A and B are shown apart, each in its own frame.
Chain A
Amino acid sequence: MSVLTKQAPGAAATLAAPGRRKPKRGLSRRTNQRSGYLFLLPWFIGMLFTIIPFFASLYLAFTDYNLFTEPNFVGLANFQAMFEDPRLLQSLKVTFIYTFVSVPISLAIALLVAMVLNRGLSGLSIYRSVYYLPSLLGGSVAIVMLWRYIFGNEGIVNGFLGLLGIQGPAWVTDPEFALSTLIVLNVWTFGSPMVIFLAGLRQVPAMYYEAASIDGASKWRQFRNITLPLISPIIFFNLIMQLIGSFQTFTQGYVMSGGTGGPADSTLFYNLYLYQKGFTEFEMGYASAMAWLLLMIIAIFTAINFIASKFWVFYDN
């Protein structure tokens, strides 16, 4: 911004000329007031469409609504039922394992690759594109279907393992391994946090590293004491966004299991179970309660992150 205003000193000076501008400004503020709301009109309607359902679902969470009869207020019954529902607990377990395994791995790979790419290699933009492309495709039905066949009994993963003399498991149909195929799929999409890391690494001034290496700091020390603190806000941002996204996984579980969450509920993601409850069993009160539990879980994890960030995220200003 400062560069821009310096570029046009003449224009800025005439515009800032006092006196004559004053009355005009007062007028424009009043028009601004009205047209500001006018510009926001679509957004206001959209907000109504967010806020009303937001509170409506909070209300429904305390009812036995089933789409066909009037909702009856049932107090905390839905929430009580949730904690005794083995499938719900299973869906929480699946979602947590998926999140807490795949998010750290993909962030670590994303950071590592971004750091290698940031060393000024030629062909940067080609590498970046190749690594980024999967994250555009990871949520598509075509790719999840492909995954099902890649990891299938006759699939190429077991084909490669066979070349190494290893008898691969039945990845998709064995409850012990089904979720791990989706974790691999999520790690495969590390490109989007990587691009954000790259943008952040570009902002770290090279002179810090020069100074450090003159002082004899090893590469590891430079990473620990320069890179890590300076990009910690970006790690934090990526962590939050990845956690929130991964808690809400749906398509992968649905397509991998044909909508059931199987085998033996091993890919029953939370949102998949919510969908089953709300839209195949029409227990919409229960589904709303589930949605609110998820909201609370996400809020708690985000809050923990924010509190913890005081100890490890470093802000320059």
Chain B
Amino acid sequence: MALLELPTKNKQKKDVAPEDALTGTPGTRFSRHLILCLVGLVMLYPLLWLISSSFKPSNDIFRQLGLWPDNWDFSNYEQGWTALNQPFHVYLINSLIVVVFSIIGNIFSCALAAYAFARMEFTGRKLFFALMLGTLMLPGHVLLVPQYIIFSQLGWLDTYLPLIVPNFMATNAFFIFLMVQFMKALPKELDDAAQIDGCGPFRTFLRVIMPLCVPAMATTAIFTFISTWNEFFGPLLYIQNQDLYTVPLALRAFMDSEGQSMWGPMFAMSVVSIAPIIGFFIAGQKYLINGIATTGLK
């Protein structure tokens, strides 16, 4: 069992600041902290201002630079929730549907492909791997028009299928690459042992490799969550029916219809829309940071 835990332990070690690297006198260290805190404050200020403004009456929002509302006003959330065709939770659920299926699709299809690339020997493996890496750099807009035509001929416009189905076909090379890196760090003896115990390749993958890849899968899940939740272009292209809008489209509709007069409710719904991202970020920081550090993912 100790053997099995090693790879993740190694990963975590990198995360801890080397004690012996503490440099400088207390004075210089203090000034460094001061600068870092100031920079952090400047960076967080827009977010904090957004949150505080969502609790201010619309008239108070501008020209009030302070973060503490003078008059607490919760009606922004009530108004914002019902300002569009559908109550806001409909859009949250719509986004959630797309997100959940995208995560499932990405995890399974990318893990399958990654296992083949990391562990198996077959003709053309290197070529396919190079092809896969090549798609990393391919700008998506090159495929846009033909894919749109295909989806519209399949009758998939105004459904979530164009947003979900590609995720079941391992089209996200980033995640394949991430999992390949992770699987390569697992000792190969595990596969051999499973094989001797009579496991076929699929059982080995499912019972031995998948459970060990939980950290890589968590990274994939969190990144998929964040990018799908933010995704604006795909839904803009494929979803016309307002009842099917995902959260970003709903927010945009908000800005188009009410934006000029109803800042408060709009900010309130903005907070609602980014809250899940911040929540996932706080919960899954470790996986995120490790994930970016190993693949350079955004």
Contacts and interface: CB of A to CB of B under 8 A. Distances in A.
Interface stretch (B21-29, B81-89, B210-218): B21-29
Interface string A28-55: 1101110111111111011101101110
Given A113-B39, A129-B285, A43 B176 contact: yes
B120 A36 contact: yes
B146 A53 contact: yes
B296 A120 contact: no
B9 to A, nearest CB: 10
Contact of B274 (A24, A129, A137, A199): A137
B189 A8 contact: yes
Contact of A258 (B24, B116, B131, B255): B255
Interface string A112-149: 01001111111111011111111111011111011101
A262 B144 CA distance: 24
B130 interface: no
B202 A291 contact: no
Given A140-B274, A291-B144, A295-B142, A192 B292 contact: yes
Contacts of A67: 149
B228 to A, nearest CB: 12
Given A1-B185, A53-B147, A120-B17, A274 B277 contact: no
Contact of A29 (B62, B121, B150, B166): B121
Interface of A is mostly: helix
Interface in B136-187: 137-150, 166, 168-171, 176, 185, 187
Given A49-B166, A133-B278, A35 B142 contact: no
A202 B39 CA distance: 22
Contacts of B202: 35, 38
Nearest to B190: A11
Given A42-B109, A159-B65, A36 B116 contact: yes
A173 B110 CA distance: 44
B237 interface: yes
B187 A8 contact: yes
B195 A28 contact: yes
Interface string B1-43: 0110011001000110111111110000100110110011001
B226 interface: yes
A4 B139 contact: no
B36 A53 contact: no
A125 B113 contact: no
B142 A121 contact: no
Contacts, number: 299
B296 A196 contact: yes
A152 B50 CA distance: 14
A250 B170 CA distance: 24
A141 B252 contact: yes
Contact of A43 (B109, B236, B293): B109
A317 B189 CA distance: 28
Contact of B296 (A47, A238, A295): A238
B72 interface: no
Contact of B251 (A49, A123, A135, A145): A145
B135 A43 contact: no
B142 A140 contact: no
B125 interface: yes
A164 interface: no
Contacts of A123: 33
Contact of B121 (A36, A38, A155): A36
B263 interface: yes
Given A40-B128, A46-B109, A124 B17 contact: yes
Using C-beta atoms within 8 Å of the partner chain, give the interface range for chain B. Answer: 35 or more
A291 B146 CA distance: 12
A7 B189 CA distance: 12
Interface stretch (A75-83, A97-105, A240-248, A307-315): A240-248
B144 A60 contact: no
B44 A130 contact: yes
Contacts of A56: 145-146, 149
Contacts of A129: 281-282, 285
B205 interface: yes
Contact of B266 (A8, A145, A192, A250): A145
B239 to A, nearest CB: 13
Contacts of B170: 42-43, 46
Contacts of B263: 149
A199 B141 contact: no
A294 interface: yes
B248 interface: yes
A298 B50 CA distance: 36
B140 A248 contact: yes
B196 to A, nearest CB: 8
Given A36-B121, A49-B166, A298 B44 contact: no
Contact of B270 (A15, A121, A142): A142
B101 interface: no
A120 B113 contact: no
A182 interface: no
A28 B192 CA distance: 10
A291 B138 CA distance: 11
17 contacts: A1-B187, A5-B189, A7-B3, A24-B195, A32-B122, A39-B201, A40-B113, A40-B128, A42-B113, A120-B22, A132-B288, A142-B271, A143-B270, A163-B65, A254-B232, A258-B255, A295-B138
Enumerate the 8 nearest inter-chain pairs by beta-carbon distance, A residue then B residue, closest first. A46-B169, A120-B21, A36-B122, A53-B146, A199-B293, A142-B270, A39-B116, A56-B146
